[in-house]
Chains A and B, each alone.
Chain A
Amino acid sequence: MQPILEAKDLHVAFNGVKAADGVSLSIHDGEFLAIIGPNGSGKTTVLNLCTGYVRPKSGSVHLDGQDITRLAPRAIARLGVARAFQIPQLFSDQRVIDNMMLSLAAKDGLWTMMRPLETEARRAEAEALLGLVGLADDKNRISNTLPEGHRKLLDIAVALALKPRLLLLDEPTSGVSALERFPLMEALMGALRQRQITALFVEHDMDVVARYANRVLVWNAGNIMAEGHPDEVFKDQRVLQSVVGVA
């Protein structure tokens, strides 16, 4: 079966520090692939490479067999790849509901000058997604007044609103309180399964990775140190020492 996303022999370096050193990876339809690794190992760079934000020095990225290596982020987004960021990327002076409705409109009706952003159908869809991530009560708040954890949730909801085939999540649970972490992941995974969205997520919380990922890639100094099912990977002594922090 052809992978939904396939990166081959990627090389990229910043000021001589290798973030990807001949790395190849793939993700198949329906998978939840987690990338873990120490800080600065190049995990976020993988997401940047896959979404056109950073272009590799060499190597290629294919989406459904189509070469997207040189495409701009907006073109890749239109092909069905959405992204939630480590630091939430929101329209901070707009209301939460407007953030959502603009994302929904971007998918199906941006180029209308004379119809309002807010339609009944769009509002209902936005509210349903906000309910899913637990932000229903915040819908009329200006987004820069939300606590960091809620901003993170909104960022994920905005990405979901694009109805993507592939969702890239950069540390979805960072900034979310310990109490909200698993309920959020349950809701998120439920939504992903229900909508048949494939997900690639960078994560630091090993409990989250162990519970929700089908497969784990362990990133270290621009290379994949280990790969496999979480149960197997977390038994690897090198992984335990360099990533999990258990000697």
Chain B
Amino acid sequence: MRVVLAAASVVVLAILPMFAPWLQFVLTLAIAKGFAALGVAILLRAGLISIGHAMFFAASAYGVAFLAARGIGDFASLLVLSVVIAALTGVIVGAFLVRYRAIFFAMLNLAVSMVFYSLFAKLYGITGGSDGMAVPIPSVFGMVLSEPAFKDVLFYLSLVLMVVIGLGIHRYLDSPLGHALSAVHTNEVRLEYLGIPVWAVLLIAYVVSAALAGLGGAIAGFAIGRVVPDFAFWTASGHLVLVAVLGGIGGVPGAFIGALFLELLHTAAVTVTDAWNLIVGAALIAVIMFMPKGLYGLFAREKGAER
């Protein structure tokens, strides 16, 4: 039943822009943020809150802009290379940060992300400073497309990636490594006594989460056509945590549900009032208070668990 519901949701997402073309950009951006929020949600399973994952989102988006400026014009190459940049950044940052827990982990992620933000904002000669960098429209398998055609390709590719990568992450979370990750939250001592190196389990999760945030950043860069330092600002990281919690960390769809809900709510709220933050805030409070497992909790059920 849940599979049918998920498939139907993807179909609805796929056909929505045909009736409301303006939604295509909103949905593309929502999927991009959904990938990044999924990265944050993976770490949340281990009880680790990263208030800095926008750094990977930005690193990848800037990666696209840099590589495009240096003559790489192929869409697939740009996408893959930018995710690799984010993953490598995740290896370096994660090697230091996975030793920490709780507030220290959260704050150190925030601190490192603000270093990234400062570098993007201050190295004007390289990054364009607060003006950012343009992301040109790349060729797709050698074909030069118009902007609307490329945006179509980007949207539908994002949708396909959401399904394929979502299934991959689902399998990861259901694997021994994924269960070990969840176990970090409850009992590190037992993990150690099972012979499991907790730091390795966390580093793998951190790199996967960085790569996911990177994928989201690359898609956002292509969709917006420009990358700016604000991509790495701490409020952007906070937004990702919010999306992850709102959607729920019980399953992979949660991050995307949260991102779609928030983007659509935001889009609707700004058309109603200038005080759109009020509407968004009230909705968030309602979800957090009445749905402790997030929006995904409405659809999920625990696997054969008895209490």
Binding site for B on A (CB under 8 A): 51, 72-75, 77-78, 82-83, 89-95, 98, 101-103, 105-107, 109-118, 140-142, 145, 158-159, 162
- A91: chain B residues within 8 A (beta carbon): 179, 182-183, 186-187, 190
Report the nearest A residue to B194, measured CB to CB: A106
8 Å CB interface, B251-307 against A: 303-307
For the complex with contacts A111-B176, A112-B176, 16 further pairs of A-B residues with Cβ separation under 8 Å are A74-B193, A75-B195, A91-B187, A94-B179, A94-B182, A95-B305, A106-B195, A113-B172, A113-B178, A115-B176, A117-B176, A118-B174, A140-B306, A145-B306, A159-B193, A162-B195
For the complex of A and B, the 5 pairs showing the least CB-CB separation, nearest first, are A105-B176, A77-B195, A106-B194, A89-B190, A78-B195
| B196 partner, pick from A106, A141, A158, beta carbons under 8 A | A106
B61 to chain A, nearest CB (A): 26
- B197: chain A residues within 8 A (beta carbon): 74
CA A222 to CA B51, docked complex, whole Å: 47
Binding site for A on B (CB under 8 A): 168, 171-172, 174-180, 182-183, 185-187, 189-197, 204, 303-307
| B307 partner, pick from A105, A109, A141, beta carbons under 8 A | A141
Contact B192 A73 (CB under 8 A): yes
Report the nearest A residue to B184, measured CB to CB: A91
- A73: chain B residues within 8 A (beta carbon): 192-193
- B171: chain A residues within 8 A (beta carbon): 113-116
A sample of 27 cross-chain residue pairs with beta-carbon separation below 8 angstroms, ordered by A number, consists of: A73-B192, A73-B193, A74-B192, A74-B197, A77-B193, A78-B195, A83-B193, A89-B193, A90-B186, A91-B183, A93-B186, A95-B303, A101-B179, A102-B180, A105-B179, A106-B195, A109-B176, A110-B180, A111-B176, A113-B172, A113-B177, A114-B171, A114-B175, A117-B174, A141-B305, A141-B306, A142-B307
Contact B175 A116 (CB under 8 A): yes
A242 to chain B, nearest CB (A): 31
Contact A102 B183 (CB under 8 A): yes
Report the nearest A residue to B172, measured CB to CB: A113
CA A162 to CA B193, docked complex, whole Å: 10
Assess A77 versus B194: contact at CB under 8 Å? Given A109-B176, A110-B180, A114-B175: yes
- A92: chain B residues within 8 A (beta carbon): 186-187
- B304: chain A residues within 8 A (beta carbon): 95, 140
